[in-house]
Amino acid sequence: MNSSNKTRHVLVVDDEAVVRNGINKALHNRGMTTKLAANGREALVLLGSHAFDLVILDIRMPDIDGVDVLKEIRSQYPETDVIMITGYPTIDTAVHCIKLGALDFLVKPFRLDDLDAALKKISSSSAPAPKSIIESNGLRFDSKKKLIIGRSRPIKEIFEKIVKVAPTDSTVLITGESGTGKELVARAIHENSDRNNQEFVAVDCSSLVETLLESELFGHVKGSFTGANQTKHGFFELANHGTFFFDEISNLSLNIQAKLLRVIQEREFRKVGDQKKIKLDIRIISASNINLEESVRSGDFREDLYYRLSVVPIRVPPLRRRKEDIPILVHHFLEKFSKKIKRNMPEVSPEAMELLKEHAWPGNVRELEHIIERILILEDTDIIRTRDLPSFISQREGDFQMFSEELFSLQELEKRYIRFVLRRTKGKKKEAADILGINRKTLGMKIKKYGLY
């Protein structure tokens, strides 16, 4: 295979060990990382806990056949490519798989040249995104390989907005809870703009002392006030021709808000104690973890400034609204911190991953990142299990939480409660059925329906 093709994360699914191992060896020789599954059920578990670029999938398997797995991949993991393989080829089956979204179809036994041709077709099938920034597991946005992780619909909508707004000079207001990654979004906009070779200056308005804020923003001349022993360049001057990012802008006083509004309108400013005006050519991006519209109504934020700042609003969803991204984020942070502390990257058991997906994550992505780092430092294990998770996640000290801020259907509630009861009964179906008030056969049907194996 051509060495110019990028390394892929591949899931190989086949019930024949000799086929799995043969494909696995061929892919490793081509610089790819792989996971192996012996049946459809194992494949779905791995898909739920890892990010894959490609699945090589057998059609005939003893439990869940490959066509059903293909349908699930196309529904839940639309960015993942699929190559189907079979030892029982028919034209109808091949056409059906291609219609369902498979990109190629190989007949066993196949030659390595056939596999290479299929991989080459996969590599050339995807048109490059603008500036090649959108990848299968997120959005890459600068030369330091910074990445916003995710492939859920809410996060993809943000990627699309970033790509559209970045080439413009429009002011952007990014809102979202603490820890959701608002500064990453701002940096992604800057890095994909025409200002990306200029400074990105980020100021956390909540960390600055109000009495010094004006001097910090605008700078001052020597002798302009007590303690001004030398002329100081302010943040605006440092950011000239680049991007200025106001983090937690709601913390600005009404006095500074008024001066900021003038800067935006006139595109010039004066240092404290100076009469000379400095022309300003910057893009302004702001972020807030509170609702600025409510701050406007309460009189704590200027309405005219709000409308100047929110020409393009971007709302970053909390992690509990994009739970399908949690396995990808977990894998990313495991990889990041394993390299940092120089240890082998552990796996995450399906049960532990389910608990991570169920947690409400009030601290959002930042909280998840810190938890993964803590586990890697404190737990010397090759597989992270439920016992390795903090007690507030594993619920060893808590109980089933019937409701949270998240809204979901009765069907989802039933699924979660059955999972909870099965966990409490250590998988004993008779005991779980008695608690649930249903017979064992009905419980078995519901377990199959919800994939609670």
197-206, 352-361, 434-443: lowest mean pLDDT where?
434-443
Residues 376, 427: one domain? Answer: no
Domain extent, residue 259, equals 135-315
What is the total count of domains within the chain? 4
pLDDT exceeds 70 at position 4 = no
List alpha helices for 150-239, DSSP H. Answer: 153-165, 182-191, 210-218, 235-239
The dihedral over CA atoms of 446, 448, 452, 453, expressed in degrees to the nearest 10, equals 140
Residue 330, CA distances (Å) to 179, 182, 343, 378, 392 in order = 15, 19, 16, 16, 17
pLDDT exceeds 60 at position 33 = yes
Domain boundary among 363, 394, 425: 394
**pLDDT single digits (tens) 206-264:** 777 666 677 778 876 775 666 666 767 778 888 889 999 999 999 888 988 998 898 88
pLDDT of residue 303: 93
C-alpha to C-alpha distance for 105 and 9, rounded to whole angstroms: 19
Write the CATH number for 54: 3.40.50.2300
Strand 232-233 versus strand 243-247 pairing type: unpaired
368 in Cβ contact with 353 (< 8 Å): no
Strand ranges inside 322-450, DSSP E = 347-348, 383-384
Query: Cα 234 from chain centroid?
Result: 34
Helix (H, G, I), strand (E, B) or coil at 14: coil
Residues 256, 168: one domain? Answer: yes
Residues 198, 107: one domain? Answer: no
Residues 153, 263: one domain? Answer: yes
**pLDDT single digits (tens) 91-124:** 666 777 777 778 777 887 777 887 887 887 676 5
> Would you tell me how many other CB atoms lie within 10 Å of the CB of residue 420?
17
Residue 292 is assigned to a structural domain of this protein: yes
Residues 119, 147: one domain? Answer: no
C-alpha to C-alpha distance for 3 and 19, rounded to whole angstroms: 24
- Which of 293, 291, 290 is CA-nearest to residue 305? 293
181-195, 300-314, 373-387, 431-445: lowest mean pLDDT where?
431-445
C-alpha to C-alpha distance for 318 and 180, rounded to whole angstroms: 6
Residues 294, 328: one domain? Answer: no
Domain boundary among 315, 342, 357: 315
Number of residues written out for the chain: 453
Residues 111, 192: one domain? Answer: no
Arithmetic mean of pLDDT, 313-337: 92
pLDDT exceeds 60 at position 145 = no
pLDDT exceeds 70 at position 179 = yes
- Whole-model pTM above 0.75? no
pLDDT of residue 404: 56
pLDDT exceeds 90 at position 419 = no
